Structure 1
Amino acid sequence: MDLTHFNEQGRAKMVDVSEKDVTSRTAVARTTVTMAPETLARIKEGRIGKGDVLAVASVAGVMAAKKTSDIIPMCHPLPLTGIDIHFSDNGNDELYIEGTVKTTGKTGVEMEALTAVSAAALTVYDMCKALQKDMVIGPTRLESKTGGKSGDYSREA
């Protein structure tokens, strides 16, 4: 497989997508924040002094997805058509964050989905660090993507 982010001199470049077809594209990413059961319980009960952790983390995820090309050097700025952040947990010590990002364009939104869940997880950490500093973020992974020349991908497949 050729690496497309390098020019003939071996230097980094932004991939030229001008000849690619416009297609509907979706990416779903997921991460985990592992914490003490008391920390998770306080998040779910709304007993964190800085406010509603999940509401703020959701907004952070949306904002981060929209700014991905500002922080990941070779990402194209994309007109995102949808961003959705969902939270679930194992009832004990793990908070799961899933982000779905959509666009209609010439390149995919995998990086936007991964950035969204990463920023949401970092926001959870930031809002809860006074209570617990040893929370662990990850693994962070792409779960699925649709559209584009390379076709669909699903981690489960």
Structure 2
Amino acid sequence: MTPIVLSVEPLTTEAFSPFGDVIEASDAARHFPINGGNTERFHDLMTIATDTDGHAIVSIFRGQPRALPFTLGMLERHPKGSQAFMPLSGRAYLVAVAPAGEGVTVADVRVFLARDDQGVNYAPGTWHHPLLALHAVSDFLVIDRAGPGGNCDEIILQPNGVIPA
């Protein structure tokens, strides 16, 4: 099958809302001064979701850079909890997502270019490609679920998608 070329769009709160939350210190977020006015708190930027058997954990993922064009051949989802990624290395990265549900095709995939100061929080069950770092090895703070039972489903995309250079 011939791969389908996917377009890349800027990551915005509105465009990403069907898939989860954008994590960023923007004027659109609720924010206010704390610590005697020395710190600005950007408040309640995402919801950390886990099932009743799990609990939230914090990890660091170190992603190898992906070369463009990149063939997107699979997606994964985590049905028992959300999964948040916040870049730590000061580099833009790509986010490839598709709506939650049983049937997903490459036509359902949207690809976003996240700035170096934007994180994402995938809602439970949202299909997404594993970490898509660009340009250099990049670290990400990750908040997700730990607990009993499998929490990672994968699906193979036929045809594949291609993220252009």
Instruction: Report the TM-score, using the length of structure 2 for normalisation.
Output: 0.26
Larger radius of gyration: 1
Structure with more helix by fraction: 1
Instruction: Report the TM-score, using the length of structure 1 for normalisation.
Output: 0.27
